[in-house]
Amino acid sequence: MTFAHLRIRKNTLKYVIPFVIGSIVLTQSACVSVTLERDEIENYLLAQQPEQALSTLESHQLKERNKSLYLLDKAMLLRMQNQFEDSNKVFEKAKKLTRKLDAISLREQAAAISINDSQRSYLPQNFEQVLVHCFQAINHLQLQQYADARVEVLQLSELLKQKDDIQMPFARYLSGLVFESNQEPDNALISYRKAYQAYSSYSSAIPLILKKDLLRLTDYLQLNDEHQKFLDEFDLEVWPKQQDIDQQAHAVAVVFNGLMPRKHSFEINVQSPSDGQLHRISTPFYEHRAAKVYGAELSSESLNTSSELIAQLDNQARTALNNEMPSIIARTIARVSIKNTAVDETKDNLPLLSLALNIAAILTEQADTRAWNTLPQQVLIMRLSLPAGNHDLKLNLLGSSLPDNIQTWKQVNMTKGESRFFSYHSPDSYVTQRKP
């Protein structure tokens, strides 16, 4: 080996190995930091302390690539504290950033190929983008800003046309509620139909509340054939008549139950028998959680009603991840190939560098486990019809292990024909399985 080759090797080791070590340190420390932050936020939420969770979120150094997640979590933590206007302002920022990130840059794609997927800016999943509109609409409903809620569900409808790979029954049903709040029974029925179709496409049970709404509005709008079709299918003898609905006030309560399961990394490590190289394939998966609350009851004076499960959002998240998995695997294979090529090209002349690159390839190959973790796992809904006037409302959570399992709204003024909206977050849940 010539003196020139020795000098090249020395310079290569001098500059490349520190770079490799730096890459390893940065990726490993970032992973640990994010995990600790998520643990802390989750613990505060389980203790029903969203204000502490928000303080934790804001105390950690924000990386630009995680900004969209930061905005989504902040907006959700604000609404958990009933700061609906501030929550919507942050949701708007998240939507603007999402539109910007939707056309991902070549530079970010290169980062995903060369290091790992978590180096890209987080682009919210399609179902998460839909839920942003849902939560903004609910914020408006709770503020009695019905026209603003209508604007939100119109935007939601356009988004669902663009994202035709997903079905969101909850989003469609919520749109129907918004249209009814704006005295638009025709548009409400269209949304309820789409909710019915979305539930059917998943082979999911049609919620009783939706069945009654379909029967009520097809009867009221004199759509006799469609009304008879639903009568035959649902086998219901009693449902509320629109004339009675118009003479009463209505309290609609939504319980956001449990916490969205977190993503983890599943890794397969193998050693090549031909050259001894180590290879790693790392893919994300969702843990399994169970919500402790199994139902809720809304009551006022002697009247009461029970909740129904209207959305299982963790199933939506798993479906989204399964749909994305072919792309994740393709990027992983391309990345492993690129990294192994670099190892092969240096193993003869620079074996120490080759070893360092192989170790770096293993340690930097990490699955992207980022997700909107402050989302609920389930959505429960109930509607209580009452005479117009002032009412004390009580929400009782069934199965909660927390001391404050009863939420009350005092002296709520409700007018004839009006629906008032209320919501409550119950993150109380636990992990049942942390493996694929």
pLDDT one-digit tens code per residue, 142-180: 999 999 999 999 999 999 998 877 889 999 999 999 999
CA–CA gap between residue 33 and residue 244 (Å, rounded): 56
36-90: per-residue pLDDT in tens?
788 999 999 999 999 999 999 999 888 899 999 999 999 999 999 999 999 999 9
> Ramachandran region of residue 371, left (φ > 0), alpha (ψ -120 to 50) or beta?
beta
Average pLDDT taken over every residue of the chain: 87
Percentage of residues of the chain with pLDDT beyond 70: 81
pTM of structure? 0.88
> Ramachandran region of residue 18, left (φ > 0), alpha (ψ -120 to 50) or beta?
alpha
CA–CA gap between residue 37 and residue 244 (Å, rounded): 51
What pLDDT is recorded for position 165?
Answer: 72
CA–CA gap between residue 101 and residue 68 (Å, rounded): 9
Which residues, 6+ apart, have CB-to-CB distance to 146 below 8 Å? 140, 178, 181, 182
Name the least confident of 5-14, 65-74, 217-226, 420-429. 5-14
Structural domain boundaries of the chain?
Answer: 3-117+250-433
The whole-number average pLDDT for the span 207-213 is 97
Q: Is the pLDDT of residue 272 over 70?
A: no
**Encoding tokens for residue 341?**
């090529």
DSSP states along 148-173: HHHHHHHHHHHHHHH-TT---HHHHH
What pLDDT is recorded for position 228?
Answer: 96
CA–CA gap between residue 382 and residue 295 (Å, rounded): 10
**Encoding tokens for residue 94?**
């998240």
Name the least confident of 149-153, 225-229, 349-353, 404-408. 349-353
CA–CA gap between residue 200 and residue 288 (Å, rounded): 25
Contact present, 251 and 420 (Cβ < 8 Å): yes
Per DSSP (E only), the strands in 301-371 are 303-306, 308-312
278-318: per-residue pLDDT in tens?
767 789 999 999 999 999 999 999 999 999 999 999 999 99
CA–CA gap between residue 392 and residue 412 (Å, rounded): 6
Report the DSSP pairing between strands 419-426 and 249-257. parallel
**Encoding tokens for residue 62?**
């924000």
The whole-number average pLDDT for the span 260-265 is 95
What pLDDT is recorded for position 1?
Answer: 47
97-150: per-residue pLDDT in tens?
999 988 775 455 555 555 677 778 899 999 999 999 999 999 999 999 999 999
Q: Is the pLDDT of residue 267 over 90?
A: no
Residue of higher predicted confidence among 376 and 352: 376
CA–CA gap between residue 294 and residue 380 (Å, rounded): 9
Radius of gyration from C-alpha coordinates of the chain:
26
C-alpha dist (Å) from residue 303 to 165, 177, 218, 334: 42, 22, 27, 61
Q: Is the pLDDT of residue 95 over 80?
A: yes
CA–CA gap between residue 270 and residue 365 (Å, rounded): 13
**Encoding tokens for residue 155?**
């935007």
CA–CA gap between residue 179 and residue 182 (Å, rounded): 5
Contact present, 70 and 54 (Cβ < 8 Å): no
Which residues does residue 22 pair with via DSSP β-bridges, in sequence order? Answer: none
